[in-house]
Copies of this chain bind each other. A is one copy, B any other.
Amino acid sequence: MEKDNKEITSRDVDFAQWYTDVVNAAHLSSYTGVKGCIAILPNGYAIWENMQKILDEKFKELGHQNVSMPLLIPEGLLRKESELVEGFAPEVAWVTEGGSKELDERFCVRPTSETLFSDYYKDAVKSYRDLPMLYNQWCNVLRWEKETRPFLRSREFLWQEGHTIHATKKEAEEETDLMMEVYRWFHHEILAIPSITGKKTEKEKFAGAEYTLTNEDLMYNGVCLQVGTSHFFGQKFSKAYDVKFLNKENKLEYVYQTSWGTTTRMIGALIMVHSDDFGLVLPPRIAPTKVIIIPIGNSDVVNNKVEELETKLREQSISVKVDRTDKTPGFKFAEAEVLGIPVRIEIGERDIKNNTLTLVRRDTREKISVDMNTDIIKYITNLLETIQQDMYNRAVERRDKLTFTAHNLEDMEKILNEHPGFIHGDWCGDQHCEERIKEIKGCKARCILEDEPLIDGKCVCCGKPAKYHVVWGIQY
């Protein structure tokens, strides 16, 4: 029953090609006639819808409300906050003509919406009674990237961007932390990805932020991926955009602001952490279809059993599909594997005669024979949970195996030349050292672990007294 895997390159042979092959074989996205922009196809979009549903519910539980701000930003408005402009200017697209006329003022297609939210908040907030304002939007943004790759980096991508304003610094910082914790929770509990979180260095933080928190995932090949950031702006934007409120002492004060976002890049992370040479592997909690039933043969007794099981699963809100096409069973098995459906159930006449069901786990490809008298719904529910946990545990194991400690530049080079990963190393805080380390295969500071003690107290680059425990790595 081995699958004919011609279409998927082995991930240990050519990881980049393997990734492309999995995306194509599972029909997650497609290239388009628009350079650097992908079409997200039904199988990919269904994953995104699940991500949206779970995150949106959590955002709302925490008091956030959804809104929709414009796609276009007038150039004059964008230019009010100089760091943001400098950070994004090289990668924005400009609308210069509209309604058959050259425009008096150019519009930039939003790369992010701090400017528009700030401009809105300026008129919307009057007093501390109006605060906090906790807005979020699900939308598309555009960044004119040179090198693109499905889900990981594309000129247009889908995301959510939360933008909040608060009466006090403390409250805004708590929000910054809280939303990073939401992303961490989502990665660990839902995506089964054991990410690490920490603070970006000054060099790597978001343009215009006082500081940036980040969620960093480690891919199967040891390359890092930044997925989800939460920014504390202090009063930078509120001063640039004049967002003031009357505080409890009846004095005008600038609001404290945050923003936080995560994107369709999470689909790329899911693939690169969990999938294998047989295609996609999806953690049950995010899989659009959790169970697929494949009838073997077309007899009444098989069809009745299939239907009975399908109904039972639906009644328990376990999303299930039945492959009733006229393809061969072998083909159907392979297809269910490529699509990453967590549990496959095969039902044939022989199974019915033996009074058993054949279940196959997608993550381990293990075949399990289950007595038909078992409480099958309970069994599947437990199995889905086991798969979720096992996938998480294996990802932790792999992450830990690819986590290294460097005490000096030599260590750093040796590790990066042998196998990249999360590399712990102390840092003095000097940007020259960051630049020097970047010379080794483009290795960057992923994040500062503020609560972790120093390793040996010496900067991994210059050897001088260190200030920060940093995780370094090569990134997508």
User: A residues engaging B (CB < 8 A)?
Assistant: 30, 32-34, 37-42, 45-46, 48-49, 65-74, 77, 89-100, 106-107, 109, 116, 119-120, 123-124, 135, 139-140, 142, 144, 146, 155-156, 158
A34-B107, A109-B109, A146-B99 known; A39 vs B70 contact (CB < 8 Å): yes
Q: Are A32 and B116 in contact (CB under 8 A)?
A: yes
Q: Are A140 and B142 in contact (CB under 8 A)?
A: no
Complex Cα gap A70–B29 (Å): 12
Q: Are A98 and B93 in contact (CB under 8 A)?
A: yes
Measured CB to CB, the nearest residue on chain B to A41 is B67
Contact of A95 among B48, B95, B140 (CB under 8 A): B95
User: Could you list some 9 contacts between A and B, CB below 8 A?
Assistant: A34-B72, A37-B70, A39-B116, A45-B67, A71-B140, A72-B142, A92-B98, A96-B96, A139-B140
A34-B72, A70-B156, A74-B33 known; A135 vs B96 contact (CB < 8 Å): no
Question: A33 — which chain B residues lie within 8 A by C-beta?
Answer: 74, 77, 116, 119
Contact of A71 among B37, B45, B91 (CB under 8 A): B37
Question: A71 — which chain B residues lie within 8 A by C-beta?
Answer: 37, 71, 109, 140, 142, 156
What distance in Å separates the Cβ of A48 from its nearest Cβ neighbour in chain B? 8
Q: Are B73 and A45 in contact (CB under 8 A)?
A: no
Q: Are B30 and A124 in contact (CB under 8 A)?
A: yes
Q: Are B144 and A98 in contact (CB under 8 A)?
A: yes
Q: Are B93 and A97 in contact (CB under 8 A)?
A: yes
Question: A155 — which chain B residues lie within 8 A by C-beta?
Answer: 98
Question: A92 — which chain B residues lie within 8 A by C-beta?
Answer: 98-99
Complex Cα gap A73–B33 (Å): 8
A32-B119, A119-B32, A119-B33 known; A45 vs B74 contact (CB < 8 Å): no
Contact of A158 among B68, B90, B106, B109 (CB under 8 A): B68
Complex Cα gap A109–B94 (Å): 11
Complex Cα gap A89–B69 (Å): 25
Question: A94 — which chain B residues lie within 8 A by C-beta?
Answer: 95-98
Question: A107 — which chain B residues lie within 8 A by C-beta?
Answer: 34, 93
Question: A144 — which chain B residues lie within 8 A by C-beta?
Answer: 98-99
Q: Are A68 and B45 in contact (CB under 8 A)?
A: yes
Contact of A37 among B48, B65, B72 (CB under 8 A): B72
**A-B contacts besides A39-B120, A42-B67, A97-B106, 7 pairs, CB < 8 Å:** A42-B66, A42-B135, A45-B66, A45-B68, A71-B109, A90-B99, A95-B96
What distance in Å separates the Cβ of A242 from its nearest Cβ neighbour in chain B? 12
Contact of A100 among B48, B90, B95, B156 (CB under 8 A): B90
Complex Cα gap A42–B158 (Å): 20
Question: A140 — which chain B residues lie within 8 A by C-beta?
Answer: 68, 71, 139-140
What distance in Å separates the Cβ of A316 from its nearest Cβ neighbour in chain B? 19
Q: Are B146 and A70 in contact (CB under 8 A)?
A: no
Complex Cα gap A74–B36 (Å): 12
Complex Cα gap A221–B95 (Å): 38
Measured CB to CB, the nearest residue on chain B to A99 is B144
Measured CB to CB, the nearest residue on chain B to A73 is B34
Complex Cα gap A115–B223 (Å): 37
Q: Are A100 and B93 in contact (CB under 8 A)?
A: no
Question: A41 — which chain B residues lie within 8 A by C-beta?
Answer: 67
What distance in Å separates the Cβ of A337 from its nearest Cβ neighbour in chain B? 21
Counting chain B CB atoms within 10 Å of each CB, which of A30, A74, A94 scores highest? A94
Give me the 3 closest cross-chain CB pairs, A-B, nearest first: A99-B144, A42-B65, A37-B70
Complex Cα gap A162–B49 (Å): 17
Contact of A67 among B39, B98, B106, B119 (CB under 8 A): B39
Measured CB to CB, the nearest residue on chain B to A35 is B74
Measured CB to CB, the nearest residue on chain B to A124 is B30
Complex Cα gap A66–B48 (Å): 10
Complex Cα gap A71–B109 (Å): 10
Question: A90 — which chain B residues lie within 8 A by C-beta?
Answer: 99-100
Question: A45 — which chain B residues lie within 8 A by C-beta?
Answer: 65-68
Q: Are B66 and A49 in contact (CB under 8 A)?
A: yes
Complex Cα gap A247–B139 (Å): 39
Measured CB to CB, the nearest residue on chain B to A95 is B93
What distance in Å separates the Cβ of A156 from its nearest Cβ neighbour in chain B? 5
What distance in Å separates the Cβ of A63 from its nearest Cβ neighbour in chain B? 11
Question: A99 — which chain B residues lie within 8 A by C-beta?
Answer: 90-93, 144, 146
Question: A30 — which chain B residues lie within 8 A by C-beta?
Answer: 120, 123-124
Measured CB to CB, the nearest residue on chain B to A42 is B65
Question: A67 — which chain B residues lie within 8 A by C-beta?
Answer: 39-42, 45
